[in-house]
Structure 1
Amino acid sequence: MEVNVKNINNLISKVYKDSIADEIGIEVGDILLSVNKEKVEDIIQYKFLISDEDIELEIQKKDNKIYLYEIEKDYDEELGIEFTNPIIDKAKSCRNKCVFCFIDQLPEGMRETLYFKDDDSRLSFLQGNFVTLTNMSEDDINNIIKYRISPINISVHTTNPELRVKMIKNKFAGRVLDIMKRLAQAGIEMNAQIVLCPGYNDKKELERTLLDLSRLHPYVNSAAIVPVGITKYRDKLAKLEIFDEKNADETIDQISKLQAKFLKELNTRFAFLSDEFYITAKRPLLKYDEYEGFVQFEDGVGMITKMGSEVIKYLDTISDDRLNKKKKVSIATGNSAYEFMCEMAKRIMDKFENIEINVYKIKNDYFGETITVTGLLTATDLIAQLKDKDLGETLYITRSMMKSDEEIFLDNITLKELEKELNIEVMPCENAGIHLVDKITK
Structure 2
Amino acid sequence: MSKEYAGIISRVNEGSLAEELELVPGDKIIAINEQPLRDIIDVSFAMADEEIDLTIEHADGEREIISFDKDFDEELGVEFESAVFDGIRKCANNCYFCFVNMIAPDMRDSLSIKDDDYRLSFLYGNFVTMTNMGPADFKRIEQFHLSPLYVSVQCMNPELRAQMLRCKGAARITEQLENLEKAGAEYHTQIVLCAGLNDGEELERSIREIAARRPHALSMAIVPVGITKYRTDPYPLQQFDREGAARVIDMVEKWQKKFQQEEGRTFLYLGDEFYFLAGREVPPTEFYDGFPQLDNGIGLTRSFINDWNLTCQNSDMSNGYEEPFVIDVVTGTSVAPVMEKLAKSLQVKNLQVRIVPVENKHFGSTVNVSGLLTAKDILDTLANMPEADKRQALIIPEPALRAGEDIFLDDMTLQEFTAHFPNIRVEPVQGGADYYHALTDWANYHKNRSGETAYTWQSNAGYTKPVE
Q: Matches of 2:31 and 2:396 in 1, distance apart?
A: 44
Q: Which amino acid is the alignment partner of residue 331 of structure 1?
A: V
Q: Is the 8 A contact 1:109 1:411 kept in 2?
A: no
Q: Matches of 1:33 and 1:97 in 2, distance apart?
A: 35
For residues 393-432 of structure 1, what are the structure 2 equivalents within 5 Å? 393-423=392-422, 424-430=424-430, 432=431
TM-score using structure 1 length: 0.92
Q: Which amino acid is the alignment partner of residue 368 of structure 1?
A: G
Q: Matches of 1:29 and 1:364 in 2, distance apart?
A: 39
Task: Output one character per residue of 1:8-53: Cα deviation in whole Å (capped at 9) or x when no partner.
Answer: 7423333223323333444444332222221112122222222344
Q: Matches of 2:281 and 2:26 in 1, distance apart?
A: 54
Task: Output one character per residue of 1:56-112: Cα deviation in whole Å (capped at 9) or x when no partner.
Answer: 43334566242241424134x322122233322311111211001111122213232
Q: Matches of 1:414 and 1:30 in 2, distance apart?
A: 28
For residues 43-82 of structure 1, what are the structure 2 equivalents within 5 Å? 43-61=40-58, 64-75=62-73, 77-82=74-79
Q: Which amino acid is the alignment partner of residue 306 of structure 1?
A: S
**SS of structure 2 residue aligned to 1:130:** coil
For residues 103-252 of structure 1, what are the structure 2 equivalents within 5 Å? 103-252=100-249
Q: Is the 8 A contact 1:9 1:85 kept in 2?
A: no
Long gaps (5+) in structure 2:
445-468
Q: Which amino acid is the alignment partner of residue 266 of structure 2?
A: R
Q: Matches of 2:206 and 2:257 in 1, distance apart?
A: 16
Q: Is the 8 A contact 1:415 1:426 kept in 2?
A: no
Q: Matches of 2:408 and 2:116 in 1, distance apart?
A: 23
Q: Matches of 1:60 and 1:367 in 2, distance apart?
A: 43
Q: Name the CA shift for 1:417/1:8 in 2 (closer, same or farther; >3 Å).
A: farther
- 372, 397, 414: which is aligned to 1:376? 372
Corresponding position: 1:282 with 2:279: yes
Q: Is the 8 A contact 1:102 1:229 kept in 2?
A: yes
Q: Which amino acid is the alignment partner of residue 71 of structure 1?
A: D
Percent identity of paired positions between Structure 1 and Structure 2: 36
- 12, 17, 26: which is aligned to 2:14? 17
Higher relative contact order at CA 8 Å, sep ≥6: structure 1 or structure 2?
A: 2
Q: Is the 8 A contact 1:396 1:426 kept in 2?
A: yes
Q: Matches of 2:332 and 2:344 in 1, distance apart?
A: 17
Q: Which amino acid is the alignment partner of residue 419 of structure 2?
A: K
Q: Which amino acid is the alignment partner of residue 370 of structure 1?
A: T
**SS of structure 2 residue aligned to 1:412:** coil
Q: Matches of 1:163 and 1:263 in 2, distance apart?
A: 29
**SS of structure 2 residue aligned to 1:234:** coil
Q: Name the CA shift for 1:29/1:367 in 2 (closer, same or farther; >3 Å).
A: closer
Partner of 1:3: none
Q: Which amino acid is the alignment partner of residue 123 of structure 2?
A: L
By how many angstroms is 1:237 displaced? 2.7
Q: Is the 8 A contact 2:53 2:65 kept in 1?
A: no
**SS of structure 1 residue aligned to 2:168:** coil
By how many angstroms is 1:324 displaced? 4.6
Runs of 4+ in 1 over 6 A off after TM superposition: none
Task: Output one character per residue of 1:204-235: Cα deviation in whole Å (capped at 9) or x when no partner.
Answer: 11121122212222222111110000112233
**SS of structure 1 residue aligned to 2:7:** coil
Q: Which amino acid is the alignment partner of residue 435 of structure 1?
A: D
- 317, 331, 339: which is aligned to 2:329? 331
Corresponding position: 1:40 with 2:37: yes
**SS of structure 1 residue aligned to 2:195:** coil
Task: Output one character per residue of 1:132-160: Cα deviation in whole Å (capped at 9) or x when no partner.
Answer: 11122332232222222222111111121
Q: Name the CA shift for 1:113/1:11 in 2 (closer, same or farther; >3 Å).
A: closer
- 336, 343, 346: which is aligned to 1:345? 343
Partner of 1:255: 252
Corresponding position: 1:357 with 2:373: no
The number of residues matched between the two structures is 433
Q: Matches of 2:297 and 2:30 in 1, distance apart?
A: 41
By how many angstroms is 1:364 displaced? 1.7
By how many angstroms is 1:397 displaced? 1.6
Q: Is the 8 A contact 1:44 1:149 kept in 2?
A: no
Q: Matches of 1:405 and 1:173 in 2, distance apart?
A: 36
Q: Name the CA shift for 1:128/1:236 in 2 (closer, same or farther; >3 Å).
A: closer
Q: Matches of 1:433 and 1:57 in 2, distance apart?
A: 44
Task: Output one character per residue of 1:173-206: Cα deviation in whole Å (capped at 9) or x when no partner.
Answer: 1112222222123321211111000111111111
Q: Name the CA shift for 1:27/1:216 in 2 (closer, same or farther; >3 Å).
A: same
- 79, 84, 88: which is aligned to 1:87? 84
By how many angstroms is 1:332 displaced? 1.1
TM-score using structure 2 length: 0.87
Q: Is the 8 A contact 2:265 2:287 kept in 1?
A: no
**SS of structure 1 residue aligned to 2:419:** helix
Q: Name the CA shift for 1:425/1:258 in 2 (closer, same or farther; >3 Å).
A: same
Q: Matches of 1:279 and 1:183 in 2, distance apart?
A: 35
Q: Is the 8 A contact 1:194 1:224 kept in 2?
A: yes
